Amino acid sequence: MDFNKIYGHDGIKSALKNSVSSSKIGHAYIFEGPMGVGRFSSALAFSKSILCENSHNGEPCGVCKSCTMAEGMTHPDIRIVNNELYNEGSSSSDILVGTIREMKKEIYIKPFYSDRKVYIVPKAETINETAQNSLLKVFEEPPPYCTVILITENTNAFLPTILSRAVNIRFNSLPRETVESYLNANFGADEAYIKTVSAMSDGSIGSAISLMEDKSAEADRETIIKTLCSLSSSSGKTLYEAVNTLKGFSSNADFMMKTITMWFRDCLYFKEGGDIVNLDKQEELKSFCKNIPSDAPLHLLDIAVRYTKYLKQRGKYPLLINCMLLECWEVLYDRSNWNKI
Ligand SMILES: [Zn+2]
> Is residue 255 one of the residues assigned to a domain?
yes
C-alpha closest to that of 33 among 69, 67, 2, 9:
9
- We report the CATH number of the domain holding residue 98 as 3.40.50.300
Judge if 12 and 160 occupy the same domain: yes
Interatomic CA distance for residues 197 and 14, integer angstroms:
29
Residues 228, 97: one domain? no
Distance 293 CA to ligand 1 centre (A): 63
pLDDT in tens, 51-79: 999 989 999 999 999 999 999 999 999 99
Whichever domain contains 293, its CATH number is 1.20.272.10
In the reported structure, the alpha carbon of residue 118 is separated from the centroid of ligand 1 by a whole-number distance in angstroms of 15
What is the whole-number distance in angstroms between the Cα of residue 63 and the centre of ligand 1?
Answer: 5
Quote the pTM value. 0.79
Residue 113 has pLDDT above 90, yes or no: yes
Residue 65 identity? K
276, pLDDT greater than 70: yes
| Cα 199 to Cα 210: distance, rounded to the nearest angstrom | 14
Distance, CA 15 to ligand 1 centroid (Å)? 19
Give the Å distance between the CA of 124 and the centre of ligand 1: 28
Q: 254 lies in a domain?
A: yes
Question: Are 13 and 140 part of one and the same domain?
Answer: yes
| Residue 177 within any structural domain of the chain | no
Same domain membership, residue 135 and residue 78: yes
**198 within domain boundaries:** no
Q: Last residue of some domain: 134, 154, 170?
A: 170
Is 313's pLDDT higher than 60?
A: yes
Q: How far is the CA of 79 from the centre of ligand 1 (A)?
A: 18
Distance from residue 38's CA to the centre of ligand 1 (Å) = 21
Q: Is residue 186 part of a domain?
A: no
332 and 227 within one domain:
yes
**Structural domain includes residue 73:** yes
Q: How far is the CA of 187 from the centre of ligand 1 (A)?
A: 29
Q: Which position has the higher pLDDT, 51 or 330?
A: 51
Residue 55 Cα to ligand 1 midpoint, Å, equals: 6
Tens of pLDDT, residue by residue over 194-210, are 888 888 888 899 988 88
Q: Which residues surround ligand 1, an ion (CB under 5 A)?
A: 52, 60-61, 64, 67
Domain that holds residue 334: 214-340
How many domains, in total, are found in the chain? 2
Tens of pLDDT, residue by residue over 279-310, are 888 888 988 888 888 888 889 999 999 999 99
In this structure, are 261 and 149 located in the same domain? no
- My answer on whether 278 and 330 are in the same domain is yes
